[in-house]
Structure 1
Amino acid sequence: MAGNSYREDKEEMRELLRQFENLRSGRQHSFLEEDSFERIIDYFDEKDELLKAMEAADFGIEQFPFSSVLMIKKADLLLAGRKYWDALEILEKAELYDSNDINLFILKTDAYLALDQQSKAVELLEAALLQFEGEERIELLFELADVYDDYEEFDKVFDCLKLILEEDPTNEEALYKICFWTDFTGRNEESIKLHLQIIEDYPYSELAWFNLGAAYQGLKLYEKAIDAYLYAVTIDEKFDYAYRNMGDAYLRLRKFKEAIEVLEKVLELSRPEDVIYEAIGHCYHKIGNFAQARFNYRKASHLNPDDSKLYYKMALTYINEEQWESAVKQLDSAMRIHRNLPEYNLAMGECKMQLRLFKEAIQFFGNVVRTRPKSVAGWEALIRCLFKAGFYEEAIEQCHAAIKITEGKSLFIFYHSACLFARKKSKEALLQLEKAMNKSPRQVKKLIDLYPAILQNQQVVDLIGRYKKGKKS
């Protein structure tokens, strides 16, 4: 039956086109109805034959000079041809015959926007909202939201979507869009109130539950967000975005095992994504399962081989296991993509230092200090490396530079003291140690980590002990 209907429509269209060709060529033809011209215009429009469509519109208007429908179709074609003023002129004429056709307002809006007259578009649509109701009013609200978006009046976009949902709480397009605009405008409290009302009336709206969760998440109310997402996935167990957001919420709460479980569900429901594998890798990293962390980081890197941070994260798992050479290989891959990132140079320097390749390590730590001169971590690593390599004079120079650039950080005064002790300059070293203890006695642990043998010096032990007693009293 459907096949027969299709063939009949095709035959009917062929006959209409034949009659139109007769009309164009001035040959004898039967009379074409107004709706026949509409079908012919639509046919040529769909085929992207705009000149023929325009010709059909002109013939139609010639035969039906009071047809607002044909005028509106012609205006649409004029807009496609970027003849905006001509389109507005014919729309004004069409409005005289039928001011209740919503397409008048939508096409006028398009013309005003194309002419960069957003204020006129807004004025037109706001007036039209008073004239229409039901589905047509909702269509105009969507149109107005788009105008406000172009005009960068983002709070008003949210207002339009809110109005739509107050009239039609299950409107899927509005539910999808308001989630983005809630996050963009930060109007989470309003979104929560709106969606709680929708849920009260429509408790099985998974989109409303999802949007509620997203709004709670925007306010960092992660437990409430997870509860809302759980309702969403109970209603629609294949709602991958709800699982994705739930995974993020669990991550924020440092509930890494739960995060892994829901993020793996995302992989089941949607195509593999590097960000999901990376997030799962991060969770395994945090719970100390470095092999699984690497496995997932590697999966992510196969999907996005140009993301240097994935190789860096794999390197960190090897560093945690003290597999320095394996870490170096991953850092080489990362640094082929981004050579000068301080984090990568810092990690590479640490690996080289642990492998006792001190000169190479110093070079990498030097890169960190040059790139980020106020980085305490960079200076600390450089001085530690120089000290371990036995380059005490160079370490002392770098301590002076670090103290100056970090405005007297006590850590570098402790390190200065350690270098002086290593150079057997005990008197000067004790003065620096006392100066550092005055500033920050807790940092003495860093000194002992750097130079454990210093505790064999009784003067040092006495000085540290004196500060501990002073603290107790």
Structure 2
Amino acid sequence: MALDAEEKPSQPITKFESMLKTDDVYFFDSEDFEDIIHHYLNNGKIALAKKAIKIGLQQHPAAAELKLLQIEVFVFENKLEEAEKMLDDLQQLDQHNEEIYIQRANIFSKKDDHLGAINLLEKALDLTDDGFDIYSLLGMEYLFMDDFEMAKKSFMKCVEFDDEDYSSLYNVIYCFEFLEEYDGAILYLNKYLEDNPYSEVAWHQLGKQYFSKKMYKEALSAFDFAIISDDTFIGAYFEKGKVLEKLGLYNEAIENYETTIKIEDPTSHAYLRIGKCHEKLGNTELAKYYFYHTVHEDPLLDKGWLAITDFYYRLKNYEKAAYYINKATNIDGENPIYWKKSGKISAALHKYDEADFAFKQAIDFGNYELDTWLQWAYVVEKNKDFESAITILTQAKEFHPEDAEILFKLSGNYSLMGDLEMAKKYIAQALILNPKGLDNFQINFPNFCTTEWMQNILEQYKNASK
């Protein structure tokens, strides 16, 4: 069994390290060598582990467990051929050692043959009465294959073996969430809590599941129980604060965020949430104070710069908003939300070329929302580049084929280019989808509306609406 990486060096380890510093050679039994090697592996001291393996095999050349540890190091170092050769030799001597199958499975996994690894791990399960580690490995192999249902079942087995195996518990909930089985996760956690009523981790996870389903009162109770179980559990206070925000209880939310700061060093995320709460309460100066604290605490937190940007944008201080959105895009230049915000700010400053570039970036990085397309087309229209506006709107139509506003704007831009046939085509389609959109169309494209053809359309529209 592997030793805890946090354990203090035992007497054999101290003795072994003393031996390395001298020319003396001490004798250890094979189990001592196993403990020494596990200690070094768990602490990432591979070179010392290899020395211990070498000396151990010199003193105990037939020790299968030491050979298996040698194989483990070979696999870690991607020396797969050497590992397989040693496994072949070992298997001739012992056909029923589950560790041989586990190490073969690790080799298969390294070669991306996850199904092969699973088959080997299943064989290992047949050879042992203690399948805890094997089920954990099975769970990981299933995750590699994106088989979240089987991964979930494997990690559940680990939790059955050890109800304090929180790593496996987290993995179970991760699988539930990926499968969007939130009710299943809630049922599982409630059942787990029947046997482990003081598990702060389970209460915390249960609260998060309720939060995802917008069951805020239930989430609040769960986080309260997590805090009762461990009154220093920062995650529970933080998540409770988020629930209180959703319930509009901003002062209470602030108290919980401040508690996280008292328990440990301040975090940028806590400052950010406190700032947003003060903003909701109308405490403008306090909001600004905490937003600046956010970026001071973590200058690379792009959400902090975005919060300051939004703060100034709402105050219509677009110059300062532009300065801070640039900070955010410099940190995360592939975030479409930041580029869209940059486009809106540049448009508000009448810097249409910059807005054009920003909206293009937003689209290129995956923001296909309707208003992103429409705002991009708007700034291009402002530059009198009607041909580009048509190209943008035609692309937008592919993503939003049933939106009348795109069709109205296509009609208007074709009319500005003098292509009345195309203008007629698109306005006819737009009117079928949304006749009421004609009012805005008249405001945005008044020249087209003075044509005889459009006058007839307007007359028909008036008569229909009487």
Q: Determine if the TM-score, normalized by the shorter chain, exceeds 0.5.
A: yes
- RMSD of equivalent CA atoms: 4.9
**1:73 partner letter:** L
1:232 is displaced (CA, Å) by 1.0
1:295 counterpart residue number: 289
2:54 counterpart residue number: 54
Q: Percent identity?
A: 18
1:74 counterpart residue number: 67
CA contact (8 A) 1:165 1:175 kept: yes
CA distance in 2: counterparts of 1:169 and 1:248, whole angstroms: 28
* CA distances 1:355-405 after superposition (whole Å, capped 9, x unpaired): xxxxxx44445546766696323455777x89xxxxxxx699999999988
CA distance in 2: counterparts of 1:44 and 1:209, whole angstroms: 37
**SS state at 1:109 partner:** helix
CA distance in 1: counterparts of 2:395 and 2:110, whole angstroms: 55
Equivalent residue for 1:226, pick from 220, 228, 235 = 220
CA distance in 2: counterparts of 1:346 and 1:398, whole angstroms: 18
CA distance in 1: counterparts of 2:410 and 2:59, whole angstroms: 92
Q: Quick one: structure 1 residues 157 and 218, their matched pair in 2 at CA, closer, same or farther if it must change by over 3 Å? A: farther
1:36 counterpart residue number: 29
Q: Quick one: structure 1 residues 382 and 227, their matched pair in 2 at CA, closer, same or farther if it must change by over 3 Å? A: farther
1:347 counterpart residue number: 345
2:451 counterpart residue number: none
1:195 is displaced (CA, Å) by 1.6
CA contact (8 A) 2:12 2:32 kept: no
Q: Residues 234-273 of structure 1: matches in 2 within 5 Å?
A: 234-252=228-246, 256-273=250-267
1:88 counterpart residue number: 87
1:215 counterpart residue number: 209
1:191 aligned onto 2:185: yes
CA contact (8 A) 1:16 1:40 kept: no
CA distance in 1: counterparts of 2:15 and 2:147, whole angstroms: 50
Q: Quick one: structure 1 residues 50 and 215, their matched pair in 2 at CA, closer, same or farther if it must change by over 3 Å? A: same
CA contact (8 A) 1:79 1:111 kept: no
**2:135 partner letter:** L
CA distance in 1: counterparts of 2:23 and 2:439, whole angstroms: 98
CA distance in 2: counterparts of 1:19 and 1:319, whole angstroms: 72
CA contact (8 A) 2:36 2:52 kept: no
CA distance in 2: counterparts of 1:73 and 1:349, whole angstroms: 69
2:115 counterpart residue number: 119
CA contact (8 A) 1:374 1:406 kept: no
Q: Quick one: structure 1 residues 19 and 381, their matched pair in 2 at CA, closer, same or farther if it must change by over 3 Å? A: closer
1:109 aligned onto 2:108: no
CA distance in 1: counterparts of 2:34 and 2:392, whole angstroms: 77
Q: Residues 158-173 of structure 1: matches in 2 within 5 Å?
A: 158-173=152-167
CA distance in 1: counterparts of 2:134 and 2:310, whole angstroms: 54
Q: Quick one: structure 1 residues 214 and 399, their matched pair in 2 at CA, closer, same or farther if it must change by over 3 Å? A: closer
**SS state at 2:258 partner:** helix
Q: Quick one: structure 1 residues 412 and 57, their matched pair in 2 at CA, closer, same or farther if it must change by over 3 Å? A: closer
CA distance in 1: counterparts of 2:104 and 2:112, whole angstroms: 12
CA distance in 2: counterparts of 1:413 and 1:172, whole angstroms: 56
CA distance in 1: counterparts of 2:122 and 2:386, whole angstroms: 72
Q: Quick one: structure 1 residues 243 and 102, their matched pair in 2 at CA, closer, same or farther if it must change by over 3 Å? A: farther
**1:60 partner letter:** H
CA contact (8 A) 1:278 1:300 kept: yes
CA contact (8 A) 1:309 1:334 kept: yes
1:26 counterpart residue number: none
CA contact (8 A) 1:88 1:111 kept: no
**SS state at 1:315 partner:** helix
CA distance in 1: counterparts of 2:13 and 2:164, whole angstroms: 35
CA distance in 2: counterparts of 1:315 and 1:412, whole angstroms: 30
CA distance in 2: counterparts of 1:309 and 1:447, whole angstroms: 40
1:73 is displaced (CA, Å) by 1.0
Q: Quick one: structure 1 residues 470 and 251, their matched pair in 2 at CA, closer, same or farther if it must change by over 3 Å? A: farther
CA distance in 2: counterparts of 1:223 and 1:448, whole angstroms: 48
Count of residues paired in the alignment: 399
1:77 is displaced (CA, Å) by 0.9
1:151 is displaced (CA, Å) by 4.0
CA contact (8 A) 1:311 1:330 kept: yes
CA distance in 2: counterparts of 1:112 and 1:151, whole angstroms: 13
1:159 is displaced (CA, Å) by 0.8
CA distance in 2: counterparts of 1:411 and 1:368, whole angstroms: 24
Structure 2 portions without partners, runs of 5+: 1-8, 41-46, 364-370, 398-403, 417-426, 447-457
Q: Quick one: structure 1 residues 75 and 348, their matched pair in 2 at CA, closer, same or farther if it must change by over 3 Å? A: same
Q: Quick one: structure 1 residues 255 and 185, their matched pair in 2 at CA, closer, same or farther if it must change by over 3 Å? A: farther
- Choose 1 or 2 for highest CA Rg: 1
1:279 counterpart residue number: 273
Q: Quick one: structure 1 residues 404 and 143, their matched pair in 2 at CA, closer, same or farther if it must change by over 3 Å? A: closer
Equivalent residue for 2:175, pick from 163, 173, 181 = 181
1:250 is displaced (CA, Å) by 4.2
* CA distances 1:250-302 after superposition (whole Å, capped 9, x unpaired): 45556544444433333333444334433333343444433333223222222
**1:347 partner letter:** I
2:375 counterpart residue number: 377
**1:202 partner letter:** N
Q: Quick one: structure 1 residues 189 and 132, their matched pair in 2 at CA, closer, same or farther if it must change by over 3 Å? A: farther
> TM-score if structure 1 supplies the norm length?
0.65
* CA distances 1:293-328 after superposition (whole Å, capped 9, x unpaired): 322322222244345554443233223334455445
* CA distances 1:408-455 after superposition (whole Å, capped 9, x unpaired): 739869999xx9xxxxxxxxxxxx9xx99x966588699999x9xxxx
